[in-house]
């Protein structure tokens, strides 16, 4: 009986708009916060040829219902997942995480195909088989690693490793002359589907590198790799070095432009501050000037007060109206004695006398 695809597995598919880390959502069964304790393993997963298997007990597969209910601790559900695992990335890790969490008590066995099989059936890899074995060994969800795993699973292989279920995504995998290499596993009811992680794959990573080949070639040349190691021709090497120099010049020009912009901005800010201070000082100066010299300024009041004091100082004092007044008689005109006529005068004295005022001498003088 083929196990149905549970909603719990479907919920583990990565969503790009997920709220949790690495696209995880609340339905993934991953708690948002965990207690501060060490959850990782201290050693990598062992290889299958390093693990002792007790073949004295008969190999009896557990059913899907028994696996979901839970098995005894000494009889975990043995789940197998295989792959190439080239450039091991988060998509691989999440697929293995789903396989590990298929059942309450799961022992996860991961098969990694050799370079020979992979190059024949799929293509050239970036990492060699030993590097891929080591990468899978250090995944926290893996309990055991099978080196040189078969491309197509045989009953003998399933019995040798006592496998209960095979975990893989449900998309038909056509290879080695078959439309789906997992077809016989699905028919036997041993297939447990998982979900692919959208947006990440080995092919996508290689595509990024090929698309930006010049950028990565220049990057590695800067880090000390030789053109021979990078399989770069002499002409391309010189071209990359020239591009690197041009980029440095561009960067310097850009830095100078940014610094000049910052300088101009600071000058503008300071000029605005100076203008504002100048306006404030000019307003203060104008106000003080008007306060001193304006129509109603302090100078006008000072002049008025000074003028009043001067007039008061030079004007004669008036006698009181209540004081008695003395009647004055006209003073007799002074004449030369013994003569009825004025004495003769010289022409100069005559003109002076004509213009002079005749003074009367009062008879009575005030004390």
Instruction: Show the 3-state SS of 162-187.
Output: CCCEEEEECCCCCECCECCCCHHHHH
The answer to whether residue 31 is domain-embedded is: no
The answer to whether residue 148 is domain-embedded is: yes
Q: Give the whole-angstrom CA distance, residue 192 versus residue 272.
A: 72
- 3-state SS class at 247: helix
Among 161, 181, 199, which residue terminates a domain?
A: 199
Instruction: Give pLDDT tens digits along the chain (367 positions).
Output: 445 444 444 444 444 444 444 445 545 555 555 555 555 678 999 999 998 888 888 889 999 999 999 999 989 999 999 999 999 999 999 999 999 999 999 999 999 999 999 999 999 999 999 999 999 999 999 999 999 999 999 999 999 999 999 999 999 888 867 888 999 999 999 999 999 999 999 999 999 999 998 888 888 888 888 988 888 888 888 888 888 888 888 888 888 888 888 888 888 888 888 888 888 888 888 878 877 777 776 777 777 777 777 777 787 666 555 555 455 555 555 455 544 555 555 555 555 555 444 444 444 444 3
Residues 99 and 188 in one domain: yes
| Dihedral sign for Cα atoms in the order 99, 100, 104, 106 | positive
Q: Give the whole-angstrom CA distance, residue 114 versus residue 149.
A: 7
Residues 166 and 217 in one domain: no
Q: Give the whole-angstrom CA distance, residue 267 versus residue 47.
A: 69
The answer to whether residue 194 is domain-embedded is: yes
Close Cβ partners of 167 (under 8 Å, ≥ 6 residues apart): 79, 80, 81, 95, 98, 99, 102, 192, 193, 194
CB atoms within 10 A of CB 150: 15
pLDDT of residue 235: 87
CB atoms within 10 A of CB 32: 9
Among 248, 283, 301, which residue terminates a domain?
A: 301
pLDDT of residue 273: 84
The answer to whether residue 280 is domain-embedded is: yes
Instruction: For residue 92, give the nearest of 101, 100, 83 by alpha carbon.
Output: 83
Ordered strands of the 144-147 beta sheet: 144-147, 106-112, 77-83, 165-169, 191-194
The answer to whether residue 355 is domain-embedded is: no
Residues 186 and 208 in one domain: no
Residues 154 and 70 in one domain: yes
Domain containing 187 equals 48-199
The answer to whether residue 310 is domain-embedded is: no
Rounded to 5 degrees, φ, ψ at 173 are -105, 100
pLDDT of residue 331: 52
Beta partners for 191? 166
Residues 143 and 247 in one domain: no
The answer to whether residue 349 is domain-embedded is: no
Q: Residue 111, class by beta-carbon neighbours within 10 Å (0-12 exposed, 13-18 middle, 19+ buried)?
A: buried
Which letter does DSSP use for residue 339 in this model? -
Q: Are strands 77-83 and 106-112 parallel, antiparallel or unpaired?
A: parallel
Contact, 229 vs 214, CB < 8 A?
Answer: no
pLDDT of residue 366: 42
Put residue 178 in one of left, alpha, beta given phi > 0 → left and psi -120 to 50 → alpha. beta
CB atoms within 10 A of CB 193: 21
Torsion of CA 278, 281, 287, 291, to 10 degrees: -140
Residues 220 and 160 in one domain: no
Cα separations in angstroms, 125 against 19, 213, 217, 235, 291: 34, 17, 19, 28, 92
Residues 149 and 193 in one domain: yes
Determine the angle formed by the axes of helices 298-314 and 234-293, rounding to 10 degrees.
Answer: 20
Residues 175 and 219 in one domain: no
pLDDT of residue 93: 96
pLDDT of residue 276: 85
The total domain count for the chain is 2
Residues 186 and 214 in one domain: no
Residues 159 and 238 in one domain: no
Q: Give the whole-angstrom CA distance, residue 127 versus residue 205.
A: 13
Q: Residue 295: how many CA atoms within 13 Å on its side-chain side? A: 0
């Amino acid at each position: 009986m083929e196990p149905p695809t549970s909603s719990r597995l479907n919920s583990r598919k990565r969503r790009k708009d997920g709220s949790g880390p690495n696209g995880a959502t609340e339905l993934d069964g991953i708690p948002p916060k965990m207690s501060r304790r060490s959850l990782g393993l201290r050693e990598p997963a062992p290889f299958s040829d390093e693990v002792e298997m007790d073949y004295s007990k008969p190999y009896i597969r557990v059913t899907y219902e028994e696996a979901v209910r839970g098995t005894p601790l000494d009889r975990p559900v043995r789940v197998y997942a295989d792959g190439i695992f080239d450039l091991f990335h988060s998509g691989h890790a999440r697929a293995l995480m789903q396989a590990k969490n298929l059942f309450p008590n799961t022992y996860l066995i991961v098969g990694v195909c050799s370079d020979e099989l992979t190059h024949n059936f799929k293509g050239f890899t970036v990492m060699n088989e030993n590097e891929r074995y080591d990468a899978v060994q250090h995944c926290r969800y893996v309990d055991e690693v099978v080196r040189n795993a078969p491309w197509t699973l045989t009953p003998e292989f399933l019995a040798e490793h006592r496998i209960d279920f095979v975990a893989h995504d449900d998309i038909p995998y056509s290879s080695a002359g078959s439309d789906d290499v997992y077809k016989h596993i699905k028919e036997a009811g041993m297939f447990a589907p998982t979900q692919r992680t959208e947006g990440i794959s080995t092919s996508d990573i290689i595509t990024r590198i090929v698309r930006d080949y010049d950028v990565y070639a220049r990057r590695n040349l800067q880090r000390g790799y030789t053109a021979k190691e990078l399989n770069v021709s002499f002409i391309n090497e010189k071209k990359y070095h020239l591009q690197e120099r041009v980029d440095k010049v561009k960067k310097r020009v850009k830095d100078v432009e940014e610094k000049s912009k910052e300088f101009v901005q600071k000058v503008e800010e300071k000029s605005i501050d100076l203008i504002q201070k100048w306006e404030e000082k000019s307003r203060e100066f104008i106000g003080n000037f008007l306060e001193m010299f304006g129509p109603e300024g302090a100078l006008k009041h000072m002049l008025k007060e000074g003028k009043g004091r001067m007039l008061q100082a030079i004007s004669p004092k008036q006698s009181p109206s209540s004081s008695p007044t003395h009647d004055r008689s006209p003073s007799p005109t002074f004449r030369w004695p013994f003569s009825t006529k004025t004495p003769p005068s010289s022409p100069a004295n005559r003109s002076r006398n004509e213009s002079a005022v005749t003074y009367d001498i009062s008879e009575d003088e005030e004390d």
